Amino acid sequence: MEYNEPSYIQSNRLTLRHFSKRDVESFYAYRSTPEVAKFQSWENYQYSDAEQFVEKQVQNKPNQPGTWFQFAVALTDTNQLIGDCALHTLLDEPRIVEIGFTIASEHQGKGYGSEAVRALLTYVFKTLGKHKIIAFTDVRNDHSIALLERVGFRREGHLLQNYMSKGKWIDEYQYSLLHSEWSL
C-alpha cells in the first residue's frame, strides 16, 4: 500500500511519518481519552484542538531549532494512526533534542511505544547525527519511566515541582541518552 505522507523511518510494525489532515479523527480520539491525558499537559481536549494541531504539523519540518515537530506513529500495514512522537530541537544547543511520546490506549501494552521510540532514536542519532536526547516524565508515570529505561535512557535527575499541570506542581524525572551510549 502507498501513502502520500512523507515517511521518516520505519520499524517492523510502525512508520513514523508526517501528519495528514485525515489523521484528525484518530488523533482527537486518543488525545481526548482521560487515560491518555492523565500525565500529559492537556485536558478537555476538543476536536478543534486536534484540527489546529494537525494543521500546524502538516506545515512543520523536523529539526528546526526552537521548535517541536510531531511525528505521526502509524501501523505500517494499514497506515492507521496509533500515536505520536515529539521532537524538540533545542534553540540554544541544536545538537541536543528532547523527545516525547503518546500512544492510543487501545494500542498500549503491545510494545508499540518502545518500538516507536527506538525508531525515533535511530532517526535522531543516525539520520540527524544528534549528540544527546533528553526526555522528561511525570514521576508518577510508571509506564513512561519503564519505557525510557527499557530503550536505554538513564535517569539524570529528579526535578521537584518542575512544572504546573492541571493546577498542581508536578515533579519530573529527567532522562538522557548520549549518541555514544546508543546501540541499534
Amino acid at 40: Q
Q: Tens of pLDDT along 136-172? A: 999 999 999 999 999 999 999 999 999 999 999 999 9
- Among residues 101, 83, 79, the alpha carbon closest in space to that of 29 is found at 83
Interatomic CA distance for residues 168 and 71, integer angstroms: 29
Q: For residues 157 and 171, is the Cβ–Cβ distance under 8 A?
A: no
- How much of the chain exceeds pLDDT 90, in percent? 90
Confidence (pLDDT) at 73: 98
Q: For residues 64 and 74, is the Cβ–Cβ distance under 8 A?
A: no
The Cβ-side half-sphere exposure at 118, using a 13 Å CA radius, reads: 17
Query: Cα dihedral angle (171, 110, 49, 165), rounded to 10 degrees?
Result: -10
Confidence of residue 183 (pLDDT cuts 50, 70, 90): confident
Amino acid at 117: V
Residue 4 has pLDDT above 50, yes or no: yes
First to last CA, the chain: 27
Residues 6+ positions from 157 with CB-CB distance below 8 Å: 173, 174
Average pLDDT of the residues in 66-80: 96
Interatomic CA distance for residues 114 and 15, integer angstroms: 13
Q: Tens of pLDDT along 13-53? A: 999 999 999 999 999 999 999 999 999 988 889 999 999 99
CATH topology of domain 7-181: Aminopeptidase (3.40.630)
Confidence (pLDDT) at 1: 39
Confidence of residue 184 (pLDDT cuts 50, 70, 90): low
